Chain A
């Protein structure tokens, strides 16, 4: 049975929308998208998804004396719930959100110019994508797939989920990944112009590809050093792919 809840919130300041899930016993999937606003998602112990518009765009001018702001100018927000999938969209793409989600939720967040996409304490899968903003992921326990074209990617994992590949990619930003000291992982690192650092005991398996030319004259074979270097920490485990063209990559051991 399908359950659809559609709420069109008025563009008021300090708007809070409480979204009950169709089946609170099952993990939710929360999708949030905006163009210019920032997105902050925090896990909480409640069963509902709570959308808070307190993070509204900053006022360009302070309120005159004796007056308070009553419209944010964010353009409103659409919130839909269908079978535990909560979709939060801004028609004009200018809203910033604070979204409280049950701990077991998975989140998909997407923005173009967000200053920051931030996810804290979520145990499900995190999928974050932005063009110009940074991504900060704190205390994640599920697989993370994150991309920022120009921004920095920072992720602090409580654990590396078994059997779940993860991936981080950026063109011009840096990747800063912190893993538990005992985390087992296979690393795929593609860092063409940047540098990669780690305090783990990383076992690097350099991939050199030999190709026979089949000619009598000239080069007999060619050796290609693959762009992608594979490596292991703590004996290997699920795959973590990291790709940065121009930025540094840090793989840190949690203290």
Chain B
């Protein structure tokens, strides 16, 4: 009889419920296997341990637990104070032990908020009301940083809006942002196409604010453009003369 078979039948053998042939084979194995004999002796010793009888007090304690709880706590404020203390402790423990939000997550949240603001600005720029479009332009200038969509929308407003006042506000707003070559080109075209000299002056201010020697050279050449409005020419000449007198450090 192998050891594994004896282990499977040890319970029946020790309790005396095994059949006669099984008991004979188990006893033959125990006679020749010291490990299984020691194992059987252990189980015999465990079986000899006395079983503890329940004390008389156990029944009394059980009955007390079955009684309903008193309707009013003796010190209700104590329970409230304890709950508040536990809550405060839990909050502070969480505050000081929780891992801080990764900076990437914060940047992501900020990016989402910025995108939301950009969406609001873009939406306002499409309104029929000129006052609302002005609000959209001011909203866009309040953005700390913005994507190319807002700058492109401001450039479209500068080129196409039916209201001179809105175009003027767009030109002023664009001074805050870096301009792509396309936006700069469309600004140059406005000096030919926009029928308002006031807008042309605002576009000159926008281009001059770039501090770009190439733009300055082009503005110098623009002074002699024969189709330029007299007011615009006077303004441009005064602007360039003023820059020369101030010794523009960017040249």
| Docked complex: A208-255 residues within 8 A CB-CB of B | 213, 215, 218-219, 222, 227-228, 239, 241, 243, 245-246
Max chain A C-beta neighbours (<10 A), residue from B165, B168, B201, B231: B165
Please choose the segment from B2-10, B12-20, B108-116, B131-139 that sits at the chain A interface, where 4 or more of its residues have CB less than 8 A away: B131-139
Please choose the segment from A89-97, A166-174, A196-204 that sits at the chain B interface, where 4 or more of its residues have CB less than 8 A away: A166-174
A165 lies within 8 A of chain B by Cβ: yes
| CA gap between A222 and B248 in the complex, in Å | 8
A164 lies within 8 A of chain B by Cβ: yes
A136: chain B residues at CB < 8 Å are none
B164 touches A147 (CB 8 A): yes
A146 to chain B, nearest CB (A): 8
Identify whether the interface residues of B are mostly helix, strand, loop, or mixed.
helix
A129 touches B205 (CB 8 A): no
A113 lies within 8 A of chain B by Cβ: no
B131 touches A165 (CB 8 A): yes
A13 lies within 8 A of chain B by Cβ: no
Assuming the contacts A149-B197, A218-B249, A219-B249, asked whether A169 and B130 have C-beta atoms less than 8 A apart, the reply is no
B163 touches A165 (CB 8 A): no
Of all chain B residues, the one with the shortest Cβ separation from A221 is B249
Of all chain B residues, the one with the shortest Cβ separation from A166 is B131
A125: chain B residues at CB < 8 Å are 129-131
**B131 is contacted by which of A145, A171, A192, A243 (Cβ under 8 Å)?**
A145
A120 to chain B, nearest CB (A): 19
**A145 is contacted by which of B130, B172, B235, B248 (Cβ under 8 Å)?**
B130
B249 touches A222 (CB 8 A): yes
A143 lies within 8 A of chain B by Cβ: yes
B56 lies within 8 A of chain A by Cβ: no
B169 touches A167 (CB 8 A): yes
| Interface 1/0 per residue, B152-183 and A, CB below 8 Å | 00000000001111101100100000000000
| Docked complex: A152-209 residues within 8 A CB-CB of B | 163-172, 192
A145: chain B residues at CB < 8 Å are 130-131, 134, 163, 165-166
B129: chain A residues at CB < 8 Å are 106, 125, 143
A210 to chain B, nearest CB (A): 12
Of all chain A residues, the one with the shortest Cβ separation from B205 is A227
A171 touches B197 (CB 8 A): yes
A165 touches B198 (CB 8 A): no
A219 touches B197 (CB 8 A): no
B165 touches A228 (CB 8 A): no
A–B Cβ pairs within 8 angstroms, 18 of them: A125-B130, A143-B131, A145-B163, A146-B165, A164-B131, A164-B135, A165-B135, A165-B138, A167-B165, A171-B198, A172-B231, A213-B249, A215-B249, A222-B246, A222-B248, A222-B249, A239-B138, A243-B168
Task: Supply 12 further A-B pairs (C-beta < 8 A) apart from A125-B129, A147-B198, A239-B134.
Answer: A129-B162, A129-B163, A145-B134, A146-B165, A147-B165, A147-B196, A213-B249, A213-B250, A222-B249, A227-B205, A241-B168, A241-B169
